[in-house]
Amino acid sequence: MPLIDKGSDTNIKLFINNRKYLLLSILLVWGAVALMAFAIKPQVKLVFSLRNNLTQEKDQYQNLVRKINELKQIEISQQFQQSEKVNEVFPSHKPVLELLSNLYQAMQRADVTVSALKINPGEIATESAEVIIAEPAKATTKKSVATKEQKAYSALKLDLTVNGEQENVDEFLQLVERISPFTSIVELNIKKTFNQEKDRTVTEAELLLNTYYYTQNITSNISDQLPSVGEKELKAFNTIQQFMPSDFRPSTEIESADLEDLFGIKGLF
Amino acid sequence: MISVNFLSKINQKLSRQQEKDNKIFKVLLVVFGVVFAIFLVVFASSFYLRYRLKSVKAQIEQAKKQINAEQQLEANYLFFVNKLVIIRELFDQRADKQIATGYFSNLLGPNIEISGLNYDMETSILSLTITSPHIFYLEDVFQALDDQEVKKNFATFEKSNLSRQMTGEYSFVLTVGFTDESELMTVETEYEE
C-alpha cells in the first residue's frame, strides 16, 4: 500500500508539474463562474434596485422642491394676501355674533325694521376645522374618513321678519345675500298691508336665512402638491370682494364685569 | 541490440499539450479579466448609486425641514383654497334661485308679484308664490308659463295651490327644479355683477 501511495503522489506531482496551465485554467473558469454567481449577479440586482430607489427619491425631491417654490409663490400671491376676506365670508366657527352684527348693518343701510328674530345657535362648542400633518400611510385613511363622515360646511338658521317700504325691503333682500358670513335666503314670504295711520303700504318680509360656516378637517401630506385655484374659484373670490364690508370687531377684553352677580339676577327672587 | 528511446516522443507530445494548455490559459485569463472588470464596474456603480441615494435622501430631509417650517402657511393656503371651492359651490347652488327669480320677474312683468319663495339648495327645488292683482293678469301669467320655451329651461315645472284672496288677488305656487343641464342656469350672471 505505501508503495502505491508513493506512486500516486508522484503521478499527481508529475501531472501538476506538466499540466499546471490546464489546472490554472480550470481554476480561472471556477473563479469566473463564482465571481458571476456570487458577486456580479447580486450586485447587478442591487444596482437595479438602487437605480429604482434613486429615481423614486429624485421624483420625491423634485416634488418637494416644486412645493417649496409653490409655497414661496403663495406668500407673494395677491389672492392669498386677501385670504382674510375669505375667512370673514366663510369662517371656521359658528358665526353668530358676526351674523347679527352684519345683519344689523344691512338693516340700517336699507332702512328696514326688525319685528321678529329667532336664532338657534345649537351647541356652542363644535368640532372646528383643524390641520393634521399626517404620515403618508395614515394620510389616506384619515382623508377617506374625513370625506365620508364630514360635511364640508354647516348652516346656521335664522328666522327674521323685517318691515319697511317696498323698495327698502327689496334693497335689504339684496343686501342680505351680500353680507359676510355667506348667507342665503331659503324661505321668503312677502306681505303687504295698508297702514292707515301713516297712509301708506308697508311691506313685511318673513325670511329664513341659512348662514354657512366651514367644518371640514384638512389632511395634508408633506409630499402632496398644493392645490391650485381654478378660474371659477377666482371669480367667486372676486365676487366676495364686493360683499358688504363688515364692521364687526370681536371683543378682546372685558369692559366691565360683576363676578358677584354675573347675570344681574341678584334681588330678583 | 537496438535501443529505442521513447522519451523524446513523449517529451514532444507533452510540449504540444503544454502549449495548448498555455493557449487555453491565456484565453481564459482574458475572459476572467473581462469578468473581473465587469465586477469592478458593477461594484463601482453600486457604490456610486449608494452615494447618490444618500445625497438625495439628505436633500429630501433638508427640503422636508424647509416645508415643515412653512407648515402654517401651507395650512392657511389649504383652508383658503378649500373654502374658495365651497364658496364657489354655494354660489352655484344659490345662482339657480337668483337667476330663476329674476327670470320669472322679467317674464311676468311689473304687475305680477313674487310674494313668496322657498328654496332647497340641496335638491335644487325652488317654489315661488306668484300673486296676481286680478283674474285678467292671471290668465296672461298662465299663458306665459305654458309656453314650451319657458318649460324647457327647467327639469321640473309645476303649478299648484291656486287660491283667491278676499282682496280679489289670485296666488298660486310655481315649483321648478334644476339640473346641471338646465338651460337657463349659469352662475356667470352672479359673478359678473
Range B139-165 burial, b when 16+ CB lie within 10 A, else e: eebeeebeeeebeebbeeeeeeeeeee
In chain A, residues with a C-beta closer than 8 Å to the C-beta of B97 are: 184-185
- Residue A191, min C-alpha distance to chain B (Å): 7
Q: For chain B, which residues make up each domain, given as ranges?
A: 7-67, 84-192
- Residue B62, min C-alpha distance to chain A (Å): 10
Q: What percent of chain A has pLDDT over 70?
A: 80
- Given an 8 Å threshold on Cβ–Cβ distance, is A236 in contact with B32? no
Q: Quick check: is A220 in a domain?
A: yes
**Checking phi first, is residue A257 left (phi over 0); if not, alpha (psi -120 to 50) or beta?**
beta
pLDDT, tens digit, 9 for 90 and up, residues B73-128: 998 999 999 999 999 988 888 888 888 888 888 898 888 888 888 888 778 888 99
Average pLDDT, chain B: 86
Region B19-38: what's the mean pLDDT?
Answer: 93
Q: Which helix (H) or strand (E) holds B73?
A: helix B71-108
Q: Is B66 an 8 Å CB contact of chain A?
A: yes
Same domain, A47 and A176: no
Q: Is the pLDDT of residue B188 over 80?
A: no
CATH topology of domain B84-192: Gyrase A; domain 2 (3.30.1360)
pLDDT, tens digit, 9 for 90 and up, residues A11-57: 888 888 888 888 999 999 999 999 999 999 999 999 999 999 999 99
DSSP assigned state of A8: H
Instruction: Give me A114's grid cell.
Output: 326688525
Same domain, A104 and A198: yes
pLDDT, tens digit, 9 for 90 and up, residues A104-138: 999 999 999 988 889 877 655 444 544 555 544 44
Q: What percent of chain B has pLDDT over 90?
A: 37
Residue ending a domain, among A76, A100, A134, is: A76
Lowest mean pLDDT among A58-62, B84-88, B149-153: B149-153
Q: Quick check: is A251 in a domain?
A: no
Domain of A188, in residue numbers: 88-224+231-241
Non-local CB neighbours of A118 within 8 Å, separated by 6+ positions: A158, A159, A160
- Given an 8 Å threshold on Cβ–Cβ distance, is B31 in contact with A60? no
Q: Is the pLDDT of residue A93 over 50?
A: yes
pLDDT given at position A262: 59
CA dist B61 and B134 (Å) reads 78
Lowest mean pLDDT among A114-128, B10-24, B52-66: A114-128
CATH number at residue A128: 3.30.70.60
- Given an 8 Å threshold on Cβ–Cβ distance, is A32 in contact with B85? no
Strand A131-134 to A218-221 pairing: parallel
pLDDT given at position A146: 40
pLDDT given at position A143: 38
Lowest mean pLDDT among A232-236, A265-269, B60-64: A265-269
Whether residue B96 contacts residue B124, with contact meaning beta carbons closer than 8 Å, is answered with yes
pTM over 0.80: no
pLDDT given at position B58: 96
Whether residue A154 contacts residue B88, with contact meaning beta carbons closer than 8 Å, is answered with no
Average pLDDT, chain A: 82
Structure ipTM:
0.75
Q: Is the pLDDT of residue A140 over 50?
A: no
